A and B are shown apart, each in its own frame.
Chain A
Amino acid sequence: MEVFLVSLLNGLVYGMLLFMLASGLTLILSMMGVLNFAHASAYMLGAYFAFTISQHIGFWPALIIAPLLCGLLGAMIEMYGLRRVHRNGHIAELLFTFGLALIIEKVVQMTWGLLPVPYRVPAGLDFPLFSIYGTQFPAYRAFMLLISLLMFGAIWLGLTRTRIGLVIQAALTHPDMVGALGHNVPRVFTTVFAAGTALAGLAGVIGGNYQVTEPAMAFTMGPIVFVVVVFGGLGSLTGCFIASLMMGLIQTFAVVLDYSPADLLRQFGIIVTSATPFHEVLTVPLPRVGALLPFLLLILILVFKPRGLMGTRDT
Chain B
Amino acid sequence: MLEVRDLHAFYGKSHILQGVDLVIGQGEIVSLLGRNGVGRSTTCKAIMGLVPPVGEVRFKGQPITGLRPDQIAHAGLGYVPEDRQIFPGLTVRQNLELGLKRTGKFGRWTFDDMFALFPNLDERKDNAAGVLSGGEQQMLTMCRTLMGDPDLVIIDEPTEGLAPKLVEQVGQLLDEIARRGISILLVEQKLTIALRISRRLYVMGHGRIVFEGTPADLATAASVRKEWLEV
A225-240 CB contacts (< 8 Å) to partner B: none
Q: Are A181 and B87 in contact (CB under 8 A)?
A: no
Q: Number of contacting residues on A, CB 8 A?
A: 20
Give the segment of B15-23, B66-74, B165-173 that binds chain A.
B66-74
Decide yes or no whether A185 CB sits under 8 A from chain B.
yes
Residue ranges of B at the interface with A (Cβ–Cβ < 8 Å): 48, 50, 68-70, 72-74, 79, 81, 85, 87-90, 94, 97-99, 101, 103, 144-145, 148
Q: A170-B98, A180-B72 are in contact. List 5 more A-B contacts (CB 8 A).
A: A176-B85, A177-B81, A179-B70, A180-B81, A185-B68
In the bound complex, residues from chain A placing their C-beta under 8 Å from that of B81 are 177, 180
In the bound complex, residues from chain A placing their C-beta under 8 Å from that of B90 are 166, 169-170
Residue in contact with A166 in the complex, picked from B72, B73, B85, B94, CB distance below 8 Å = B94
Q: Are B70 and A173 in contact (CB under 8 A)?
A: no
Q: List 26 A-B contacts (CB under 8 A).
A: A163-B103, A169-B89, A169-B90, A170-B90, A170-B98, A173-B85, A173-B87, A173-B89, A174-B85, A174-B87, A176-B50, A177-B81, A179-B50, A179-B73, A180-B81, A181-B70, A181-B101, A181-B144, A181-B148, A183-B101, A184-B70, A185-B68, A185-B69, A185-B70, A312-B88, A312-B89
A56-111 CB contacts (< 8 Å) to partner B: none
Q: Please measure, in the bound complex, the distance between the C-alpha atom of A181 and the C-alpha atom of B142, giving whole angstroms.
A: 11
Q: Please measure, in the bound complex, the distance between the C-alpha atom of A167 and the C-alpha atom of B94, giving whole angstroms.
A: 10
Number of residue pairs across A and B with beta carbons under 8 Å? 63
User: Smallest distance from the beta carbon of A159 to chain B beta carbons, Å?
Assistant: 11
CB nearest to B76 among chain A residues:
A182
A152-183 CB contacts (< 8 Å) to partner B: 163, 166-167, 169-170, 172-174, 176-183
In the bound complex, residues from chain B placing their C-beta under 8 Å from that of A176 are 50, 69, 85
Contact A181 to B48, CB < 8 A, known contacts A173-B88, A312-B88: no
In the bound complex, residues from chain B placing their C-beta under 8 Å from that of A163 are 103
Decide yes or no whether A186 CB sits under 8 A from chain B.
yes
Q: Are A182 and B85 in contact (CB under 8 A)?
A: no
Q: Please measure, in the bound complex, the distance between the C-alpha atom of A181 and the C-alpha atom of B50, giving whole angstroms.
A: 12
Contact A180 to B48, CB < 8 A, known contacts A174-B85, A186-B68: yes
In the bound complex, residues from chain B placing their C-beta under 8 Å from that of A169 are 87, 89-90
Q: Are B88 and A181 in contact (CB under 8 A)?
A: no
User: Smallest distance from the beta carbon of A108 to chain B beta carbons, Å?
Assistant: 36
Residue ranges of A at the interface with B (Cβ–Cβ < 8 Å): 163, 166-167, 169-170, 172-174, 176-186, 312
Q: Are A180 and B73 in contact (CB under 8 A)?
A: yes
Q: Please measure, in the bound complex, the distance between the C-alpha atom of A253 and the C-alpha atom of B77, giving whole angstroms.
A: 57
Q: Are B68 and A179 in contact (CB under 8 A)?
A: yes
In the bound complex, residues from chain B placing their C-beta under 8 Å from that of A173 are 85, 87-89
Q: Are A167 and B68 in contact (CB under 8 A)?
A: no
User: What 9 A-B pairs come out closest when comparing CB atoms?
Assistant: A182-B73, A179-B69, A177-B85, A182-B101, A174-B85, A170-B87, A180-B79, A180-B69, A184-B70
In the bound complex, residues from chain A placing their C-beta under 8 Å from that of B74 are 182
Contact A183 to B70, CB < 8 A, known contacts A163-B103, A170-B98, A178-B98: yes
User: Smallest distance from the beta carbon of B42 to chain A beta carbons, Å?
Assistant: 14
* Best-surrounded residue of B48, B98, B101, B144 (most CB of chain A within 10 A): B98
Q: Please measure, in the bound complex, the distance between the C-alpha atom of A170 and the C-alpha atom of B86, giving whole angstroms.
A: 9
CB nearest to B150 among chain A residues:
A182
In the bound complex, residues from chain B placing their C-beta under 8 Å from that of A185 are 68-70
CB nearest to A313 among chain B residues:
B88
Q: Please measure, in the bound complex, the distance between the C-alpha atom of A177 and the C-alpha atom of B154, giving whole angstroms.
A: 13
User: Smallest distance from the beta carbon of B80 to chain A beta carbons, Å?
Assistant: 9
Contact A166 to B98, CB < 8 A, known contacts A179-B50, A179-B70: yes
Q: Are B68 and A181 in contact (CB under 8 A)?
A: no
CB nearest to A183 among chain B residues:
B70
Q: Are A182 and B70 in contact (CB under 8 A)?
A: yes
User: Smallest distance from the beta carbon of B56 to chain A beta carbons, Å?
Assistant: 20
User: Smallest distance from the beta carbon of A43 to chain B beta carbons, Å?
Assistant: 28
User: Smallest distance from the beta carbon of B147 to chain A beta carbons, Å?
Assistant: 9
In the bound complex, residues from chain B placing their C-beta under 8 Å from that of A166 are 90, 94, 97-98
In the bound complex, residues from chain A placing their C-beta under 8 Å from that of B88 are 173, 312
In the bound complex, residues from chain B placing their C-beta under 8 Å from that of A181 are 70, 73, 98-99, 101, 144-145, 148
User: Smallest distance from the beta carbon of A190 to chain B beta carbons, Å?
Assistant: 14
User: Smallest distance from the beta carbon of B169 to chain A beta carbons, Å?
Assistant: 22
In the bound complex, residues from chain A placing their C-beta under 8 Å from that of B99 are 181
In the bound complex, residues from chain A placing their C-beta under 8 Å from that of B69 are 176, 179-180, 185
* Best-surrounded residue of A172, A174, A177, A186 (most CB of chain B within 10 A): A177
In the bound complex, residues from chain A placing their C-beta under 8 Å from that of B145 are 181
CB nearest to A87 among chain B residues:
B52
Q: Please measure, in the bound complex, the distance between the C-alpha atom of A172 and the C-alpha atom of B90, giving whole angstroms.
A: 11
Q: Please measure, in the bound complex, the distance between the C-alpha atom of A312 and the C-alpha atom of B129, giving whole angstroms.
A: 13
User: Smallest distance from the beta carbon of B134 to chain A beta carbons, Å?
Assistant: 17
